[in-house]
Amino acid sequence: MAEITAQVLVVGGGPGGYVTAIRAGQLGLDVVLVEHGGPDGGLGGTCLNVGCIPSKAIIHAADAYERAVEQAKSQPFGIKVEHPTIDFARTVDWKDGIVGRLTSGVGALLKRHRVKIVQGHAIMVDGKTCRVETDTGPQAIQAGHVVLATGSMPAALPALTFGGRVISSTEALSLQAVPERLVVVGAGYIGLELGTAFAKLGAKVTVIEAEDRILPIYDAELVRPVARRLQALGIEVLSRTRAVGLSDGGDAVRVERQGAAGRSLAADRILVATGRRARVEGFGLERLDLTMNGAFVAIDERCATSMRNVWAVGDLTGEPMLAHRAMAQGVVVAELIAGHRRVFDGAVIPAVCFTDPEIVTVGLSPEEARQAGHEVHTGTFPFQANGRALTLAAEDGFVRVLARADNHLVLGIAAVGAGVSELAGAFGLALEMGARLEDIGGTIHAHPTLGEAFHEASLRALGEALHI
């Protein structure tokens, strides 16, 4: 068996793994990265191959198609379009082209920083040794430091196992035709992002959610504009409803709703989007003496596990399962291995839901602030009073700023509206830099932009709003 030795072994080539490897390479470390490919597609992991990037491509195409359809019905902008159609197979090809460009880019970056890539299935032997099954035979890798970055996978339901008409987000992003009837199980961000996109593309969409309302992790004020939009798109939402299995013929999903008789929902496709689970099986985790945190690998503030020189980053370590969290952890780990003094501070991690309209949150919600014992000032500014939003015909939504009442330190920022995901950087920077309301209010914001709503919300919390 061939053997490789390295200073750093990274298991997994997703956002956490490849960023760890690139940063370690930049710091002059000898790095080997093992990527198995498989359902995640290879370098870039779930996010780049079958998650963040392809889903946003499909969402953009769906938005463009819906706008064309609307222009065929009425011409508020003076633009006339007749009978738009979509060749969804070409849309998927376009999406795949974007993914291909980005995965190639990741490979080029790793090569530029002298990271050795081993394609194959990694099995940990112990805390310093890994056996990789490659196309050319087994390969052993020994390293002083091991970074586990195996990511996550769609969570299946016992009553609806994947296969046939029952699909995960992975298969949904590679469909060659828009299903006529789509049932989405789970009204979290994955289910609603894809459900909304397919509704715009012409599918009849029904969403099933076991909780009382959609997007239960977000506060109700942020969710209301999204709920209105779902209704406008003709998406039926069944809350307090559970999927209990397929019909005898397999062409419908049986559901049970609290206080109502069971029913069957006919479906060409059934998208199960009830969350993701850490990938803890299949790579020899059981051979490592690691402390677990429930279903996740436990780590400390440095992303160190309970074994010396074994680190873990990304979805394997728990919520929030976000690519940018994994990337930030990867940088911290690489710099620690190189001898730098670093800790991972996850207090300011933006969360974005690419629904229509979009939702972005950073920091505390009003309820979380109250539970923490803070007396707060809140300022909200509606996009109905924002000139740029009006010119985009996207006036539904608002920006909300939450700050301590005593010293005006900003504790949380949230927004719901078209394109607000692009404000996430400004929101995160404000919290990371310890901004007060006066800092945001005193910063000149360009006009006309959506960002002015951030400025005005801060002024409103101070009682000094100018445009409302």
Q: What is the pLDDT of residues 418-447, one digit of tens each?
A: 999 999 999 999 999 999 999 999 999 999
Of residues 140 and 75, the one with the higher pLDDT is: 140
Residues facing 255 on adjacent strands = 243, 263
So what's the pLDDT on residue 260?
A: 79
**Mean predicted confidence (pLDDT) in 324-346:** 97
Tell me 278's DSSP state: E
Helix (H, G, I), strand (E, B) or coil at 426: helix
Q: pLDDT per residue over 85-144, tens digit each?
A: 999 999 999 999 999 999 999 999 999 999 999 999 999 999 999 999 998 889 999 999
Residues facing 379 on adjacent strands = 401
Catalytic residue among 83, 445, 447, 455: 447
CB-based burial, 212-241: b 16+ in 10 Å, e otherwise:
eebbeebbeebbebbbebbeeeebebbbeb
Distance CA 328, CA 348 (A): 11
| This prediction's pTM | 0.95
Nearest CA to 307 out of 77, 113, 112, 126 is that of 126
So what's the pLDDT on residue 42?
A: 87
Q: pLDDT per residue over 3-47, tens digit each?
A: 899 999 999 999 999 999 999 999 999 999 999 987 666 899 999
Distance CA 444, CA 449 (A): 12
**Mean predicted confidence (pLDDT) in 178-184:** 98
Residues 6+ apart with CB under 8 A from 114: 25, 30, 31
Q: Which amino acid is at 264?
A: S
So what's the pLDDT on residue 74?
A: 85
Nearest CA to 403 out of 421, 380, 424, 426 is that of 380
As a whole number, the mean pLDDT across the chain is 96
The answer, yes or no, to whether residue 462 has pLDDT greater than 80, is yes
Residues facing 118 on adjacent strands = 34
Q: What are phi and psi of 50, to 5 degrees?
A: -135, 25
Lay out the sheet containing 351-353: strands in order across: 351-353, 358-363, 410-417, 398-404, 376-382
Respond yes or no: is residue 83 known to be catalytic.
Answer: no
